[in-house]
Amino acid sequence: MNWHGIGAIYRFEMARWKRTLWQSLITPVITTALYFVVFGSALGSRMSTMDGVSFGSFIVPGLTLLSVFMQSIFNASFGIYFPKFTGTIYELLSAPLSSFEAVLAYVGAAVTKSVLLAALTLATATLFVQVQLDHPLAMIFFLVGISSGFCLFGFAIGIWAKNFEQLQIIPMLFITPLTFLGGAFYSVKTLAEPWRTLTMCNPIVHLISGFRWSFYSVADVPVWSSVAVMMALNGLCLAVIVWMFRSGYRLKQ
């Protein structure tokens, strides 16, 4: 394992992130804080509880993951797309670094950014609503696992994308709607049939449910289902990235 090469890429990505700290960290936190003000403090007091949890507290895990989803994809995709855009990708491909080590460095840096963003978002949430954490180890497990899956997904998008517009089309057209329809602001149990059954086909539902369970011990789906979907997401994205590196898909053009 070339730890020196992995560390070099990791430090470079973290340094680049620090130069854009306002855009990549502060802005998402401010945006999420506005959600807490509107939905948590203003409207939350006027709405009934969800699964025995106040509405303002109930939406905290969903809003946290909403930020994590988007920033994980953007951070990881831009990290690998930028070398393609500048033409320095060939330096990475010719370096004494395996594809696994390169992915570990880029995705590791992106996961670190996502976890820091989630921690700051949760800290901000405590200023507006009451947040409890019933299963802290499970929360860390889900946070790291979900962040890793979406960072791998973003890394694959960065390799696939041919321009900056394609970096944003999948997160904006697919991930955001699936998140809003995935129980970020409500419990799936409140939906009538057939919408409840159709919603269960949304993988985001399982991820948000498992993450919310770690806070309040309430879930829309069994916890094992959330873990299975999370592991499947990581495995599928990793398999796609391995194929991309082995085939040179949009890397050696």
Mean pLDDT, rounded, for 98-123: 92
- Whether residue 162 is contained in a domain is answered as yes
Quote the pLDDT of residue 49. 74
149, pLDDT greater than 70: yes
First to last CA, the chain: 27
The encoded tokens of residue 146 equal 């979900």
Total domains in the chain come to 1
The span from the CA of 105 to the CA of 108, in Å, is: 5
Contact of 217 with 132, CB cutoff 8 Å: no
Mean pLDDT, rounded, for 22-51: 73
Calculate the average pLDDT of the chain: 88
Q: Do you find a cis peptide bond into 194, omega within 30 degrees of 0?
A: yes
Whole domain around residue 89: which residue ranges?
3-247
What would the pLDDT profile of 62-95 be if each residue is shown by its tens digit?
Answer: 989 998 999 999 999 999 998 888 888 888 878 8
Quote the pLDDT of residue 45. 60
Quote the pLDDT of residue 31. 82
Which pTM was predicted? 0.91
- Whether residue 20 is contained in a domain is answered as yes
229, pLDDT greater than 70: yes
Pick from 30-34, 99-103, 182-186, 195-199: least confident: 30-34
Mean pLDDT, rounded, for 146-151: 96
Nearest of 46, 36, 55, 43 to residue 187 by alpha carbon:
55
Of residues 75 and 193, more confidence is placed in 75
- Whether residue 125 is contained in a domain is answered as yes
140, pLDDT greater than 90: yes
Contact of 165 with 173, CB cutoff 8 Å: no
Distances (CA, A) of 66 to 73, 95, 102, 189, 234: 11, 36, 27, 20, 18
The span from the CA of 183 to the CA of 77, in Å, is: 26
State percent of the chain over pLDDT 90.
44
Nearest of 200, 201, 238, 208 to residue 226 by alpha carbon:
208
Quote the pLDDT of residue 34. 81
- Whether residue 38 is contained in a domain is answered as yes
Alpha helices in the chain (DSSP H): 3-19, 21, 27-35, 55-58, 60-86, 89-94, 99-125, 136-160, 164-170, 176-180, 195-199, 203-216, 223-247
State percent of the chain over pLDDT 70.
96
- Whether residue 252 is contained in a domain is answered as no
- Whether residue 253 is contained in a domain is answered as no
Of residues 253 and 178, more confidence is placed in 178
The encoded tokens of residue 126 equal 């405590």
Quote the pLDDT of residue 90. 84
Nearest of 66, 234, 251, 249 to residue 154 by alpha carbon:
234
- Whether residue 8 is contained in a domain is answered as yes
Quote the pLDDT of residue 44. 58
Distances (CA, A) of 98 to 54, 83, 222, 242: 49, 17, 38, 11
Of residues 108 and 16, more confidence is placed in 108
What would the pLDDT profile of 163-174 be if each residue is shown by its tens digit?
Answer: 888 888 888 888
The encoded tokens of residue 170 equal 């999948």
Contact of 221 with 201, CB cutoff 8 Å: no
